[in-house]
Amino acid sequence: MGKIKRQKAVVLASGRGSNFEALVRAEKAGVISPFEIIGLISNQPDSGARELARNFCIPEVLVNSQPFKSPRGFDRSHYESELLKCLTALKPDWIFLAGYMLVLGPEIIAAFPKRILNIHPSLLPKHRGLRAQKQAIDAGDRIAGCSVHYVTEELDGGPIVLQKSLEILPDDTEETLSKRLLPLEHETYIEALQQIAKELN
């Protein structure tokens, strides 16, 4: 078995950043080798993930999506060309979406074929899109879960790498379910990367 070339990854995150943190800690602990997190890009100025990146001394870039929003809607193509410029400069082998709350456009997806992963808080193909945990509760599901999948042009529709499930308790709310699901998301993302690393071998 030959030595696998290091796989440079950039994480895209919009919010709190707990999945980003879990990935960074896993990388530092040497459990997701050969992946190396070389940077964070966030679209939100006040994202917790940015602060985490600074604390971990990981280069972070803000590509603020706010100025691209107007009463006429979101100028996705201009925002995405800024994002693509930034990604092209960082030259990652992989892009990990970790609570990135914008849909990635076709140009970026085409620039990194089968090299973009996402974590979604549902057992896909169930409950795509926003507030997946609420969707599961509203649907009366007994089981919830999370999925790590490749990103394609179909929203939350790409090939699944790994899923894990957990029981929905009778008194679960969107908040309690989301909170219980989070550690499982972290575990699933790490195991999914370990699985991909084996396939790269």
CB of 153 to ligand GAR, least distance (A): 15
- Give least dist CB 129 to ligand GAR, A: 7
Strands (DSSP E) found in the chain: 7-13, 35-42, 60-62, 69-70, 73-74, 94-97, 116-120, 143-150, 160-167
For the question of residue 120 being annotated catalytic, the response is yes
Choose the binding region for ligand GAR from 12-20, 32-40, 67-75, 104-112 (rule: CB under 6 A): 12-20
Nearest distance, CB of residue 89 and ligand GAR, angstroms: 24
In the complex, the smallest distance separating the C-beta of residue 137 from ligand GAR, rounded to whole angstroms, is 14
Least distance to ligand GAR from the beta carbon of 181, Å? 7
Which is closer to ligand GAR, CB of 19 or CB of 65? 19
Q: Which residue, 99 or 158, is less far from ligand GAR as judged by CB?
A: 99
Q: Which residues 6+ apart lie within 8 Å of 180 measured at CB?
A: 166, 172
Beta strands at 60-62 and 35-42: parallel, antiparallel or unpaired: parallel
Residue from 9, 11, 12, 17 touching ligand GAR (CB under 6 A): that is 17
Residue 110 identity: A
Class of residue 189 by CB neighbours under 10 A (exposed 0-12, middle 13-18, buried 19+): buried
Q: How far apart are CA 145 and CA 142, in angstroms?
A: 10
Torsion of the alpha carbons at 84, 87, 93 and 96, rounded to the nearest 10: -90
Handedness of CA 34, 39, 42, 46 (dihedral sign): positive
- Taking CB under 6 A as the rule, which mask of x and - marks residues 126-145 in contact with ligand GAR? ------x-------------
Candidate segments 67-75, 86-94, 118-126, 162-170, binder of ligand GAR by CB under 6 A = 118-126
Mask: binding to ligand GAR, 168-187, rule CB under 6 A, as x and -? -----------------x--
Q: Which run of H or of E encompasses 191? A: helix 174-200
Task: Determine, following the binding rule CB under 6 A, whether residue 18 of this chain makes contact with ligand GAR.
Answer: yes
Verify binding: residue 16, ligand GAR, rule CB under 6 A: yes
- Phi, psi dihedral angles at 76 (to 5 degrees): -60, -40
Q: How far apart are CA 167 and CA 82, in angstroms?
A: 41
The residues carrying an active-site annotation are 120
> Which residues sit at the interface with ligand GAR, rule CB under 6 A?
13, 15-19, 98-99, 119-121, 132, 185
